[in-house]
Amino acid sequence: MTNDQFYKPRVKAPDPALIERTDTVLHRHRLTTVCEESACPNRAECYARGTATFMILGDTCTRACRFCNVKTGRGAPPDPEEPGRIAAAVRDLGLRYVVVTSVDRDDLGDYGSGHFAAVVEAIRREAPGVKIELLTPDFRGEREALDTVIAAAPDKLAHNEETVRRLSPTVRPQSDYDRSLAVLRYYAERFDGPVKSSLMAGLGESEEELVRTMGDLYAAGVRELTLGQYLQPTPRHAPVVRYHPPEFFDRMKTAALELGFEAVASGVLVRSSYYAERLGTPSGVKK
């Protein structure tokens, strides 16, 4: 083993009072965040900044990705009041940038795409001027669902490839590497705004495979990329094969920029929505 396999990230603990404020607003509006459901290592820091990534359509996913801490099963019907509650929380927290994501809902006729659109509409009505990023599932690649979220006119669209082609069948057994690329390509061709994706490192991929995957994403029209260290949520999830040091993520950022990406966040604790408001050009105008 090399030294970098033993490198483990450390998370700085912020002011508990600031965390409590955000947590209070989220609980008052009965909202689910991906911060809690995925056991994100940055949730305390983000709460302290008054930001959160809202997870809609419940806390139960129809898929069982081996890296994800969200529970698997059949979820409840979409809550028609949820968009309004999210919009109220955005207002109460004074947010300027919002990330909205969801569990996979393969059990729904539109895969939940209409609920995404309703959330965007509610936020626009309750908190005009707030920038909205949608981090969507693949919706099984169904164009009608993809068109629904494009028509909602968020400021940025994202879908995560997560890992390299070789590992995708075991890490994301109910998803598909090429289907995710097709979704991102569809967004890039039809959405008048930035398209983003995210990758994890440490699952056993090589640097060459990561760079190759970045190239696939760039060819699909993705122009914003995040890359972070995979951290095993529980012993039953996929193990960490390697903990990468900060220098590795610096190299990967350089490689991504050399491929042509316009905005790259690469670091040990970087996640798809970590400091999302600072990445790229969330103005809704494609470069």
Can you say whether the dihedral through the CA atoms of 86, 71, 226, 262 is positive or negative? negative
pLDDT at 6: 42
pLDDT for position 69: 83
Burial of 269 (0-12, 13-18, 19+ CB in 10 A): middle
E strands, 114-222, are 131-135, 156-158, 195-201
- The tens digit of pLDDT for each residue in 74-95 reads 889 999 999 999 999 999 888 8
- pLDDT tens digits, one per residue of 36-52: 555 555 666 665 655 66
Contacts of 120 (CB under 8 A, 6+ apart): 100, 132, 134, 152, 153, 154
Amino acid identity, position 190? R
Q: Which CATH class is domain 3-278?
A: alpha beta
What is the predicted pLDDT for the residue at 5?
Answer: 45
What letter represents residue 262's amino acid?
E
Residue 174 to residue 162: CA distance in whole angstroms: 13
Which pLDDT does position 241 carry in this prediction?
97
3 state DSSP class of 200: strand
C-alpha–C-alpha distance, residues 59 and 213, integer Å: 29
Lowest-confidence range among 26-30, 253-257, 282-286?
282-286
Is-contact 156 196, C-beta < 8 A?
Answer: yes
Say if residues 160 and 274 touch (Cβ distance below 8 Å). Answer: no
pLDDT given at position 281: 52
Residue 183 tokens read as 């979704």
Task: Identify which has the larger pLDDT, 168 or 25.
Answer: 168
Q: For 164-168, which contacts have Cβ atoms below 8 Å and span 24 or more sequence positions?
A: 164/199, 164/205, 164/209, 164/210, 164/212, 164/213, 165/209, 165/212, 165/213, 165/216, 166/205, 166/209, 167/203, 167/204, 167/205
Question: 261 exposed, middle or buried (CB, 10 Å; 0-12, 13-18, 19+)?
Answer: buried
Going by pLDDT thresholds of 50, 70 and 90, the confidence category of residue 259 is: very high
Report yes or no: 50 and 22 within 8 Å, Cβ to Cβ: yes
CB-count burial class (<10 Å; 0-12, 13-18, 19+) for 76: exposed
- Please report, for the chain, the start and end positions of each structural domain, with discontinuous segments joined by +: 3-278
| Position 175 pLDDT exceeds 50 | yes
pLDDT mean over 209-233: 97
Nearest Cα residue to 159 out of 131, 130, 188, 122 = 188
Residue 195 has pLDDT above 60, yes or no: yes
- What does R_g of the chain's alpha carbons equal in angstroms? 18
Give the sign of the dihedral formed by CA 11, CA 210, CA 101, CA 264: positive
